[in-house]
Chain A
Amino acid sequence: MLRLIIRRLLGMIPILLIIITITFFLLRLAPGSPFANDKAFPPEVIQALNEQYGLDKPLHIQYFNYVKELMKGNLGPSTRYVGRSVNELIWQHLPTSVVLGLLAYLFALVLGLIIGIISSLRQNSLLDYVSMAVAMLGISLPSFVLGPLLVIIFSLTLFWLPPARWGEPKHLILPALTLSAVYIAYIARLTRSGMLEVLRADYIRTARAKGLAESVVVLRHALRGGIIPVISFTGPALTFLLAGTIVVEKIFAVPGLGKIFIEAANSRDYSVVMGLTLFISTVLVVMNLLVDITIGLLDPRISYK
């Protein structure tokens, strides 16, 4: 197991390098400029700004300069926000995304698992249908519909919660709820199908035959195997949540990484897009590693050779 972890961590380096390289050239191929404006800047000003940020040099020189700085841990300056570095931007806004993302996922995990387990145990019962219908609703109600709906109900009609902004715990609730809906649905459905598979497996029969209490069978034995699809799903899902969720951050004016990313993309703030892509891919790779380890621990049937 330790060897696996070390190998995977070492394997990250070339992966990240490939991602950086492709992204770097992809960004430069996209039409637009960091200094584009509805009221065009005078050409001499654009030229001066390009020089200032080293964007006037040949592309491959820019690339090597970027990688060189990256080795020192410097993600470069933002062109959109004068005087702010990408490192600073990411560190400033990461906590927001982490808090919101984890809360939403925790919420989703608890509710999703409960719904999923119950439906699987009562397959084809009314309860099963209803919970699956609600779960389906969570999926078909995209966050840009659910968010405004929650705002209309809780902020503009009942006046219980603020409709947007960030800073106090009360600001957390609506965006976390909106964000979790889809994940509740996914997790519930994945749990249900995973559990259904496992509940008929031989080792569960054995457990039942041994006369173990149903709750022990379900929670200790079946769940272990049954939630493997959920865990596979957790890797990308958590990454998505940590990377920031553009729609929800927009609706609730939450200053997370998603907002930073979309603004940077719109204003072609190359170094910010690069920095965030790098950050997100690192998280993704680490998450997937964690997922694989967890699966290995949970399911005795899987072995890594």
Chain B
Amino acid sequence: MSQEVNIAKKELVVGTSLWEDAWRRLKKNKLAIFGAIVLILIVTVSLFGPIFSSYTYDQINLDRSSEPPSWDHWFGTDQLGRDILVRSLIGGRISLMVGLVATSVSFVIGVTYGAISGYFGGYIDELMMRIVDIIYSLPYLFLVIVLLAFFTKSIFMLFLVLGAVSWLTMARIVRGQVLSIKNQEFVEAARAVGVETPQIIFRHIVPNTLGPVIVYTTLTIPSAMLSEAFLSFLGLGVQPPLASWGTMVNEGIEAISVYPWQLIFPGLMMAITLFSLNFLGDGLRDALDPQMRKD
């Protein structure tokens, strides 16, 4: 997402102040900065944490299956006696990547698609929205099953499948926003001055939809992480002994009243990530709020 922002930044040679303003305001938002720090921390431990552990994620020890947290195993062990801490960290890599990819796709495709649809309106809008309806209506389950039957399973496939649907609701939301913005004075003004259409859409309208877009993005991430668990049910996604937060939580839930740590720790890591993302998202939203800028 930040990459997106950067690209957009370069494009907006004239309007730099928007992004600089936003950055200045974001820095002032303690909660958002806190969220960002926690996020960076989680990414770092997920990437480098496993190196320092004396266990590997696939080290089975059936004699120590389902042990509660202890000095040996801080997060306890799973039913195969594997260290849940290491598995949660490794799982974080996958889940974070999944969240990132799904979000980027949803952001890039969804925003562009929704903005174009909403701005042009009329028949173009109708056609584009009906295409969204159709993709929405197809039984996703079978789409995936058929894809898996004809192509080899890989991490790329996983991202493709996740991305394919994550942008639909985003497109709807952006379109709704654009519909309500496009007739406002500042757009009319831009049009009157003769600004070209793509510029109007992406420089004047889209930045004004970023509030709901960012909020919705923070909502997409958890659902993408859970979709990944659903896809691994179909055999797409990480294969055992690897795991992701989603699959660990999924497995842990059955043991909730017996071995709660198998659910809590991966679940907690996921929750902390989502919370920090959320604070960061809110901060960004506020920072980018055009009205606030005017004030």
Is A15 part of the contact surface with B, judged by Cβ < 8 Å?
A: yes
Name B133's contact: one of A30, A284, A304 (CB within 8 Å): A284
Q: What are the residues of chain B within 8 A of A301 when measuring CB–CB?
A: 180, 183-184
Total number of residue pairs linking A and B with CB closer than 8 Å: 137
CB distance from A156 to the nearest CB of B (A): 8
User: DSSP class of B's interface residues: helix, strand, loop or mixed?
Assistant: helix
Residue of B nearest to A143 (CB): B226
Asked whether A295 is an interface residue with its Cβ less than 8 Å from the other chain, the reply is yes
Q: Which listed residue (B250, B263, B274) contacts A139, Cβ 8 A?
A: B274
Interface size of B by Cβ–Cβ distance < 8 Å? 54
B130 touches which of A15, A229, A304 (Cβ 8 Å): A15
Residue from B179, B184, B257, B274 within 8 A of A140 (CB atoms): B274
Whether, in the assembled complex, A193 has its beta carbon less than 8 Å from a beta carbon of chain B, the answer is yes
- The A contact surface, by secondary structure, is helix
Contacts of B292 in A (CB 8 A): 200
Given contacts A133-B275, A142-B226, A236-B169, contact A29 B249 (CB under 8 A): no
* Cα distance, A302 to B31, chains bound together (Å): 35
Q: By the criterion CB–CB under 8 Å, are A201 and B219 in contact?
A: no
Q: Does B285 have its Cβ within 8 Å of any Cβ on chain A?
A: yes
Closest to B179 in A: A302
Contact with B along A147-172 (1 / 0, CB 8 A): 01100100000000000000000000
CB of B45 closer than 8 Å to a CB of A: no
Q: Which residue of B122, B139, B215, B294 contacts A193 across the interface (Cβ within 8 Å)? A: B215
Query: What are the interface flags for B113-131 relative to A under an 8 Å C-beta threshold, 1 for contact and 0 otherwise?
Result: 0000000011000100110
- On whether the beta carbons of A145 and B222 are closer than 8 Å, the reply is no
B76 interface residue (CB < 8 Å to A): no
CA distance A68 to B137 in the complex (A): 21
Given contacts A132-B278, A229-B177, contact A304 B121 (CB under 8 A): yes
Known: A26-B138, A133-B275. A139 touches B219 (CB 8 A): yes
Q: Is A132 a contact of B282 with CB atoms below 8 Å? A: yes
A284 to B136, Cβ gap below 8 A? yes
Which residue in A29, A136, A236, A281 is a CB contact (below 8 Å) of B274? A136
> Is A48 in contact with chain B by the CB < 8 A criterion?
no
B267 on interface, CB distance cutoff 8 Å: yes
B41 within 8 A of A: no
State whether A145 touches B263 (Cβ < 8 A). Answer: yes
| A303/B183 contact (C-beta < 8 A), A189-B219, A288-B133 known | yes
Contacts A29-B149, A193-B212 given; does A236 touch B141 at CB 8 Å: no
Does B173 reach chain A (CB closer than 8 Å)?
yes
A17-25, A84-92, A208-216 - interface stretch? A17-25
How far does the alpha carbon of A233 sit from the alpha carbon of B177 in the complex, in Å? 12
B215 touches A302 (CB 8 A): no
Contact partner of B256 (CB less than 8 A), chosen from A22, A23, A148, is A148
A225 — nearest CB in chain B belongs to which residue?
Answer: B180
Contact between B211 and A193, CB atoms less than 8 A apart: yes
Q: Which residues of A contact B143 (CB under 8 A)?
A: 26
Partner of A145, one of B145, B216, B267: B267
Q: What 7 pairs between A and B have smallest CB-CB spacing?
A: A281-B137, A200-B291, A232-B176, A140-B274, A30-B145, A29-B146, A193-B215
21 contacts between A and B (CB under 8 A): A15-B134, A19-B137, A29-B150, A31-B149, A139-B219, A140-B222, A140-B274, A142-B226, A144-B250, A144-B253, A148-B253, A152-B256, A190-B212, A193-B285, A196-B289, A235-B172, A236-B172, A277-B137, A277-B138, A295-B176, A302-B183
